[in-house]
């Protein structure tokens, strides 16, 4: 029997990529598994600090295979698609394994992002090759083990799902029977990956592994964490960004039956009770004197004015081709068209309000968090508790939506701070108004555009000036180079259209409202701006917007591929639409994938009604077509919600919206039917793999707005849509 | 729908324990013990009569399948049945549940085999899954009252339940399926059309 030490060696030898388990591992595994923890703060004590499960695959002698899922599951299907990649190359029986979420460890960093982050539509892009190698390495070791046992060459063996077979003799061994022997096999230096025609799993529409536990209430989200003796905390935060507590009177709050403690924090006051509702009752009795800080006068009007004034004055060039803006003739020329496009701040409103549960003991810190960024959560917890990060165990739960909001760790800091002060495990739960009013918002954007058309109505100069706050300035300032936040100009500075003179500028103007990643980030507004202005230009020259794009995308086969597919699906220019219905089209490349959409829209009772969306996506490699279809629908709904109603406004430094009544979400009776086609994708297509979680979003707003322009003849240059 | 893969274990389940052991503690207080029937179990709770049912279910009974979304009856994530009718438990004082049957997602069926749950699985509806308990409870109440709802009736009944992930198309398909009218156009088994030849057969992966 291999010793624990030897066992760890195997783990190290594989670069953290492989770990084959044994019977002696069973106990260790139970303590280690993300959710196999016993309840409560003592659970952290059972985690031996020197044992990080730096592994992706465990095969127990009883045949149970455990696959570790390194990315957070927030609806995008990571928990299904990553096991697909491992199982394909391991030749595991699909579904006959269990999964668990990885703990916080750099071992599980996404190779594309360099950190343990689920975002940027990077899960499959980052892990596609690595997870396949993990599976192939395990399979190779199982083959070698069987070869030794049977005294045959490994080349004479094949695998069938879950077992090794020696066809010449008919001998068969289940993976579990080989697990122990396989662990003493030298780790292969390199492994062969399957070729596309041998895939059994990759490329097949595959139902989600988490569906069964999401239809019976069993899936554990962050808000469901119930370590023993946990108290719920709600926090009254300063309504003005950056404001602090001057003083507070907790007497009335403490007098509420069931309130256990009231704790002052720099940015607010927390009320703790056994249950959420009682804590809220206490919260309503708080008397707090705020120091609102320097943003107390902030208003939407003031912010827009600052952006307008700075858009040219503070402009830094992000990209320039030909003569750039200098090519524009003096104002007054009839061939020059100008427009101002604006997009508002947006909240994320994940269905699961922000929350985090923490226990702080002498042994360390345990955090149960619906997080997109385990490393960041771990750091935030360590800082809040004043301990080394190695003392922090992060359990990733299911996420009730993420959309970028859960890449932040503010809720982790709050939970750990309160758990440490209070001495018992604490679950911080945000109300919906807390969630709407204390978000890291999609940046507001102010855009001035100018274009000159040639005699044929084709653009020969395109100038796009962007002003807005910067996400990277706050999150990672080194990403802002020469004053340009790449996320603010993505989808604009890399304009695909063949225009001889191009200039895109960016003015970083930060009014102070916290901004963060919001599904598809800069593309969420830039696709709207670019694709709608282009549509306006097409109309000026009397061109069909689809044909106009085709001309300008000459030599861009992947853009053309999705554009033509979406048009074909919709019957663009061919199909007779019902009276009052109009088509709009848009295309965008984001996160390595190309997506075009045609929206069929009418106006009902003065409001836009989106009947149908035809969506064509080229993501290079389509690992799970069923998941891709779902993510296209998802991006469309998220983007459509924003286009139709999303707007965060400020007055006196305070967000004016607070719940789904004044910050609405699209409902089923407003939902268009969505048809999805996957084009041009295949492992052997030679295309790099693209993302899926975000690329479905950017084209929807412009497709709808362009359809409305077709319907009304009037451009719509500000979101949300106002007819 | 053919064979499903085995459900993965829910790795977090251990900490989401039923808080039954907390009940004696909850009932230790002297006054206002409220009697409830939840998922066919008679229970006693010592909490304020004004406490919304949602928090009694989640924080005292450990029935966390019912979700908190808005606290104002705007999103439907907290939908449960009161004597078979769908209600928003976040705005339903526990007092109004006295003497009535409360059914949560955990009690909808014994082994996740309510027709709505089976349809949900067949259509692979959930994404993040957070709103799905409420969606399913709402759909189950709809079908109990209206076994063959039209599209418009589904829209009307389900419009109070928000899904931010955008599972609406599949929700509609699942309801039609549960009603015995699977909409083949929208069913998962039709799959997304794939042009590349990579995944010609739109079948489920099976071993």
Domain B32-107 indexed as CATH 3.10.20.30: yes
Answer for the pair B127, A207: CB distance below 8 angstroms, yes or no: no
Two domains, one topology: A50-214 and A222-293+354-429? yes
The answer to whether the Cβ–Cβ distance between A400 and B129 falls below 8 Å is: yes
What DSSP string describes A454-505? -TTS-EEEEEEEEEE--HHHHH-GGG-BTTB-HHHHTTTTT--S--SEEEEE
Q: Which of B28, B119, B192, B206 to mutate to test the interface with A (most CBs of A within 10 A)?
A: B192
Could you state, in order of their start, the residue ranges of all structural domains in chain A? 50-214, 222-293+354-429, 300-346+441-712
Helix-then-strand count for chain B, H and E: 6, 6
pLDDT at A64: 87
* pLDDT tens digit sequence for A97-133: 999 999 998 889 999 999 999 999 999 999 999 999 9
Question: What's the rounded mean pLDDT across residues B112-126?
Answer: 97
* pLDDT tens digit sequence for A529-586: 999 999 999 999 999 999 999 999 999 999 999 999 999 999 999 999 999 999 999 9
Of B63, B160, B164, the CB nearest to A401: B164
- How many Å lie between the alpha carbon of A480 and the closest alpha carbon of chain B? 31
The answer to whether the Cβ–Cβ distance between B59 and A232 falls below 8 Å is: yes
Q: Which residues pair with A428 in a beta bridge?
A: A233, A356
Q: What is the mean pLDDT of chain A?
A: 91
Q: Which of A216, A220, A520, A639 to mutate to test the interface with B (most CBs of B within 10 A)?
A: A216
pLDDT at A9: 32
Topology of the domain covering A50-214: Aldehyde Oxidoreductase; domain 4 (3.30.365)
Q: Where are the strands (E) in A240-350, listed by range?
A: 244-249, 259-264, 268-273, 287-291, 316-321, 336-343
The answer to whether the Cβ–Cβ distance between A96 and B5 falls below 8 Å is: yes
Question: What's the rounded mean pLDDT across residues B102-122?
Answer: 97
Confidence band, pLDDT 50/70/90 cuts, at residue B200: very low
Evaluate the omega torsion of the peptide bond into residue A720 and state whether it is cis, within 30 degrees of 0.
yes
Residue of higher predicted confidence among A381 and A179:
A381
pLDDT at A63: 86
pLDDT at A378: 98
The CA-CA-CA angle for residues A116, A117, A122, to 5°, reads 115
pLDDT at A14: 34
Confidence band, pLDDT 50/70/90 cuts, at residue A218: very high
The answer to whether the Cβ–Cβ distance between A622 and B198 falls below 8 Å is: yes
* pLDDT tens digit sequence for A223-269: 999 999 999 999 999 999 999 999 999 999 999 999 999 999 999 99
Cα–Cα distance between A627 and A81 in angstroms, integer? Answer: 8
pLDDT at A685: 62
Is the predicted pLDDT of residue A171 greater than 50, yes or no?
A: yes
The answer to whether the Cβ–Cβ distance between A633 and B11 falls below 8 Å is: no
The answer to whether the Cβ–Cβ distance between A628 and B192 falls below 8 Å is: yes
Report the CATH superfamily, name and number, of domain B108-186: [2Fe-2S]-binding domain (1.10.150.120)
Question: Backbone phi, then psi, for A65, in 5-degree steps?
Answer: -105, 130
Q: Which residues pair with A602 in a beta bridge?
A: A609
Question: What's the rounded mean pLDDT across residues A490-508?
Answer: 98
Answer for the pair A647, A720: CB distance below 8 angstroms, yes or no: yes
Of B8, B65, B166, the CB nearest to A633: B166
- How many Å lie between the alpha carbon of A145 and the closest alpha carbon of chain B? 23
The answer to whether the Cβ–Cβ distance between B165 and A678 falls below 8 Å is: no
The answer to whether the Cβ–Cβ distance between A353 and B69 falls below 8 Å is: yes
pLDDT at A684: 58
Is the predicted pLDDT of residue B21 greater than 80, yes or no?
A: no
Is the predicted pLDDT of residue A8 greater than 80, yes or no?
A: no
- How many Å lie between the alpha carbon of B143 and the closest alpha carbon of chain A? 17
Is the predicted pLDDT of residue A37 greater than 60, yes or no?
A: no
Q: Quick one: closest CA in B to A29, which residue?
A: B11
Stated as kind and residue range, the H or E segment containing A432 is helix A432-437
CATH architecture assignment, domain A300-346+441-712: 2-Layer Sandwich (3.30)
The answer to whether the Cβ–Cβ distance between A629 and B13 falls below 8 Å is: no
Residue A10 tokens, joined: 């195997």
- How many Å lie between the alpha carbon of A231 and the closest alpha carbon of chain B? 10
Q: Which residues pair with B113 in a beta bridge?
A: none
pLDDT at A683: 62
Residue of higher predicted confidence among A11 and B92:
B92
Residue A116 tokens, joined: 């343990």
pLDDT at B14: 36
* pLDDT tens digit sequence for A385-412: 999 999 999 999 999 999 999 999 999 9
The answer to whether the Cβ–Cβ distance between A635 and B186 falls below 8 Å is: no
Tell me the CATH number for domain A222-293+354-429.
3.30.365.10
Cα–Cα distance between A710 and A586 in angstroms, integer? Answer: 13
Q: Which residues of A touch B164 (CB under 8 A)?
A: 349-351, 401, 403, 637-638, 641, 665
Report the SS3 class of residue A300: helix
DSSP tag of A550:
H
The dihedral through the CA atoms of A209, B161, A280, B26 has a sign that is negative
The answer to whether the Cβ–Cβ distance between A625 and B199 falls below 8 Å is: yes
Cα–Cα distance between B122 and B120 in angstroms, integer? Answer: 5
pLDDT at A189: 83
- How many Å lie between the alpha carbon of B99 and the closest alpha carbon of chain A? 22
Is the predicted pLDDT of residue A435 greater than 80, yes or no?
A: yes
Confidence band, pLDDT 50/70/90 cuts, at residue B30: very low
Q: Which residues of B touch A211 (CB under 8 A)?
A: 120-121, 124-126
Question: What's the rounded mean pLDDT across residues A199-223?
Answer: 97
Of B17, B163, B188, the CB nearest to A226: B17
The answer to whether the Cβ–Cβ distance between A196 and B198 falls below 8 Å is: yes
Answer for the pair B166, B127: CB distance below 8 angstroms, yes or no: yes
Question: What's the rounded mean pLDDT across residues B184-202?
Answer: 37
Confidence band, pLDDT 50/70/90 cuts, at residue A184: confident
Contact residues for A714 (Cβ-Cβ < 8 A; gap 6+): none
Is the predicted pLDDT of residue A6 greater than 80, yes or no?
A: no
**End-to-end CA separation in angstroms for chain B:** 15
Q: Which residues of A touch B14 (CB under 8 A)?
A: 35-39
The answer to whether the Cβ–Cβ distance between B164 and A351 falls below 8 Å is: yes
Question: What's the rounded mean pLDDT across residues B9-22?
Answer: 36
* pLDDT tens digit sequence for A148-158: 999 999 999 99
Q: Quick one: closest CA in B to A435, which residue?
A: B70
pLDDT at B183: 54
Q: Quick one: closest CA in B to A93, which residue?
A: B207
- Length, in residues, of chain A: 723
The answer to whether the Cβ–Cβ distance between B126 and A349 falls below 8 Å is: no
Q: Kindly report each contact of residues A139-143 with a partner whose C-beta sits within 8 Å and lies 24 or more positions away, as own/partner.
A: A139/A89, A139/A90, A139/A91, A139/A191, A140/A188, A140/A191, A141/A18, A141/A20, A141/A182, A141/A183, A141/A185, A141/A187, A141/A188, A142/A59, A142/A175, A142/A178, A142/A179, A142/A182
Size of interface A-B (CB pairs under 8 A): 341
Residue A138's Cα: distance from chain center in Å? 30
Question: What's the rounded mean pLDDT across residues A312-322?
Answer: 98
Is the predicted pLDDT of residue B182 greater than 70, yes or no?
A: no
Of B74, B169, B206, the CB nearest to A659: B74
pLDDT at B32: 67
Least confident of A34-38, A270-274, A523-527: A34-38
Q: Which residues of B touch A639 (CB under 8 A)?
A: none
The answer to whether the Cβ–Cβ distance between B164 and A232 falls below 8 Å is: no
Question: What's the rounded mean pLDDT across residues B159-181?
Answer: 96
DSSP tag of A685:
G
Answer for the pair A348, A518: CB distance below 8 angstroms, yes or no: yes
Could you state, in order of their start, the residue ranges of all structural domains in chain B? 32-107, 108-186
Is the predicted pLDDT of residue A58 greater than 60, yes or no?
A: yes
Nearest to A466 by CA among A501, A517, A507: A507
Exposure letters A17-30 (e unless 16+ CB within 10 A, then b): bbbbbbeebeebbe
Residue of higher predicted confidence among A274 and B206:
A274
pLDDT at B5: 36
The answer to whether the Cβ–Cβ distance between B66 and A432 falls below 8 Å is: no
Is the predicted pLDDT of residue A48 greater than 50, yes or no?
A: no
pLDDT at A332: 76
pLDDT at A680: 81
CA neighbours within 13 Å on the CB side: how many for A346? 32
Residue B124's Cα: distance from chain center in Å? 14
Answer for the pair A625, B191: CB distance below 8 angstroms, yes or no: yes
Cα–Cα distance between A90 and A138 in angstroms, integer? Answer: 6
pLDDT at B186: 42
């Amino acid at each position: 029997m291999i010793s624990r030490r030897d066992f760890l060696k195997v783990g190290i030898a594989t670069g953290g990529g492989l770990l084959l388990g044994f019977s002696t591992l069973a106990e260790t595994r139970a303590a280690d598994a993300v959710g196999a923890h016993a309840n409560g703060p003592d659970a952290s004590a059972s985690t031996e600090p020197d044992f990080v499960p730096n592994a992706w695959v465990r095969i127990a002698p009883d045949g149970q295979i455990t696959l570790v899922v390194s990315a957070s599951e927030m609806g995008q299907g990571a928990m299904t698609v990553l096991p697909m990649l491992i199982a394909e190359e391991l030749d595991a029986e699909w579904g006959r394994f269990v999964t668990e979420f990885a703990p916080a460890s750099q071992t599980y960093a996404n190779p594309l992002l360099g950190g343990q982050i689920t975002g940027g539509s990077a899960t499959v892009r980052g892990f596609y090759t690595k997870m396949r190698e993990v599976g192939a390495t395990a399979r190779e070791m199982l083959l070698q083990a069987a070869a030794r046992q049977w005294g045959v060459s490994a080349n004479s063996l094949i695998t069938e799902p879950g077992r090794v077979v020696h066809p010449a003799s008919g001998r068969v061994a289940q993976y579990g029977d080989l697990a122990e022997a396989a662990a003493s096999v030298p780790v292969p230096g390199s492994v062969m990956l399957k070729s596309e025609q041998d895939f059994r799993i990759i490329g097949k529409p595959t139902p989600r592994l988490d569906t069964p536990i999401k239809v019976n209430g069993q899936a554990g989200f962050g808000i469901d964490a119930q370590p023993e003796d946990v108290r719920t905390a709600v926090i009254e935060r300063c309504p003005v960004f950056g404001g602090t507590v001057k003083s507070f009177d907790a007497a009335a709050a403490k007098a509420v039956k069931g309130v256990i403690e009231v704790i002052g924090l720099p940015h607010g006051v927390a009320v703790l009770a056994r249950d959420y509702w009682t804590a809220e009752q206490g919260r309503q009795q708080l008397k707090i004197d705020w120091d609102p800080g320097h943003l107390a006068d902030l208003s939407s009007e003031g912010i827009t004015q600052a952006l307008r004034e700075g858009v040219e004055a503070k402009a830094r060039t992000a990209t320039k081709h030909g003569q750039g803006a200098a090519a524009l003739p003096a104002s007054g020329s009839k061939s020059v068209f100008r427009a101002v496009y604006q997009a508002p701040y947006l909240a994320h409103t994940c269905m699961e309000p922000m929350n985090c549960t923490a226990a702080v003991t002498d042994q360390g810190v345990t955090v149960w968090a619906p997080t997109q960024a385990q490393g960041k959560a771990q750091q935030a917890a360590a800082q809040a508790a004043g301990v080394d990060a190695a003392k922090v165990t992060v359990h990733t739960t299911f996420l009730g939506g993420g959309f970028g909001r859960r890449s932040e760790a503010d809720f982790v800091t709050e939970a750990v701070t309160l758990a440490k002060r209070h001495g018992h495990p604490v679950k911080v739960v945000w109300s919906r108004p807390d969630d709407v009013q204390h978000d890291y918002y999609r940046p507001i954007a102010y855009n001035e555009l100018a274009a000159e058309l040639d005699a044929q109505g084709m653009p020969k100069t395109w100038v796009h000036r962007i002003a807005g706050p910067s996400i990277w300035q706050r999150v990672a300032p080194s990403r802002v180079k020469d004053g340009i936040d790449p996320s603010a100009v993505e989808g604009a500075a890399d304009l695909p259209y063949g225009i001889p003179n191009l200039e895109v500028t960016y003015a970083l103007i930060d009014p102070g409202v916290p901004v963060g990643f919001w599904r598809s980030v800069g593309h969420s507004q830039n696709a709207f701006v670019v694709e709608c202005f282009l549509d306006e230009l097409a109309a000026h020259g009397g061109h069909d917007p689809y044909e106009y794009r085709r001309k300008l995308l000459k030599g861009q086969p992947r853009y053309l591929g999705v554009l033509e597919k979406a048009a074909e699906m919709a019957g663009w220019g061919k199909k007779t639409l019902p009276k009052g219905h109009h088509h709009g089209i848009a295309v965008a490349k984001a996160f390595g994938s190309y997506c075009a959409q045609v929206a069929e829209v009418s106006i009902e009772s003065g409001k836009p009604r989106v009947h149908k969306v035809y969506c064509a996506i080229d993501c290079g490699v389509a690992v799970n077509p069923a998941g891709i279809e779902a993510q296209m629908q998802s991006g469309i709904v998220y983007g459509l919600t924003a286009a139709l109603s999303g707007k965060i406004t400020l007055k006196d430094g305070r967000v004016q919206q607070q719940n789904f009544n004044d910050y609405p979400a699209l409902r089923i009776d407003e939902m268009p039917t969505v048809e999805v086609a996957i084009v041009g994708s295949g492992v052997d297509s030679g295309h790099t793999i693209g993302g899926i979680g975000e690329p479905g979003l950017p084209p929807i707003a412009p497709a709808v707005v362009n359809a409305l322009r077709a319907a009304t003849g009037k451009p719509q240059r500000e979101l949300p849509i106002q007819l | 729908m053919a064979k499903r893969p085995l459900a993965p274990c829910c790795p977090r389940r251990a900490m989401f324990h039923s808080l039954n052991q907390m009940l004696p503690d909850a009932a230790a207080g002297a006054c206002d013990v409220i009697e409830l029937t939840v998922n066919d179990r008679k229970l006693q709770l010592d909490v304020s009569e004004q406490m919304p049912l949602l928090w009694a279910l989640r924080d005292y009974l450990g029935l966390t399948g019912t979700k908190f979304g808005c606290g104002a009856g705007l999103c439907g994530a907290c939908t449960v049945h009161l004597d078979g009718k769908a209600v928003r438990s976040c705005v339903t004082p526990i007092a109004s549940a006295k003497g009535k049957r409360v059914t949560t997602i955990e009690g909808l069926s014994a082994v996740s085999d309510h027709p709505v749950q089976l349809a949900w699985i067949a259509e692979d509806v959930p994404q993040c899954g957070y709103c799905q308990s409420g969606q399913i409870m709402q759909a189950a109440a709809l079908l109990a009252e209206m076994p063959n709802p039209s599209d418009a009736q589904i829209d009307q009944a389900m419009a109070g339940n928000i899904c931010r992930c955008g599972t609406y198309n599949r929700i509609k398909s699942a309801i039609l399926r549960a009603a015995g009218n699977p909409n083949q156009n929208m069913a998962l088994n039709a799959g997304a059309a794939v042009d590349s030849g990579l995944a010609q057969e739109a079948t489920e992966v099976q071993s």
